[in-house]
Amino acid sequence: MVMPKSTESHILPDVLRPGLKLVFCGTAASKRSAAEHAYYAHPGNLFWSALFEAGLTPRRLAPSEFPLLPEYGIGLTDLAKRHSGNDDELPRDAFDVPALLAKIERHQPRLLAFTSKNAARAALGHAVDHGLQSESIGSTRLFVLPSPSGQARGHWDLTPWQVLADRVDLSAAEAIRSMQTTAIDRKR
């Protein structure tokens, strides 16, 4: 039996639990996020404003409020839990894809959204485009977003974030319909 690695050395804790509608996965915490112990903490990072502008949260949260995300059905994780910095500063073995797969299979969110093509490419092992992917992890659908990092500002586009928000709402509506159908079938 493989024992899980200790989470004590994680730069940022996973924000995961069963029943989430959406989990965001980045590559690694930035140096600023590691220093502040908060996801997407650099002031130039657009993550928190994108969540609000796309309609995934009712207000713009501060990075330090990341533990509140499960209240909105949202979770967070990274591919590199024990390293921080820009992707080009990380050691080759920083990304723990098997750990990510195990977490997603265990918690089964409806959607896993990679917050950059680089994160998705590292996890999936091939080039990707933005948007909903044809593959999944168990029952979890995969989505790729433009990076909210200030360093990727030249490639920024809120549109895929809005498409994701629409997809999350659609998934929620599908889940409600499924529960209603199951309830109706039980009454018969």
CA nearest to 124, candidates 166, 74, 113, 109: 113
pLDDT class of 155 with cuts at 50, 70, 90: confident
CA distances, 26 to each of 68, 78, 107, 119 (Å): 18, 5, 17, 6
Q: What is the pLDDT of residue 134?
A: 96
Give residue-wise pLDDT tens across range 32-54: 999 999 999 999 999 999 999 99
Listed range (18-22, 93-97, 176-180) with the worst mean pLDDT = 176-180
Answer whether residue 150 shows pLDDT above 90. Answer: no
The string of pLDDT tens digits covering residues 76-111 is: 999 999 999 888 888 888 999 999 999 999 999 999
Distance CA 34, CA 10 (A): 10
**Predicted pLDDT at 170:** 60
This prediction's pTM: 0.86
* The pLDDT of residue 154: 80
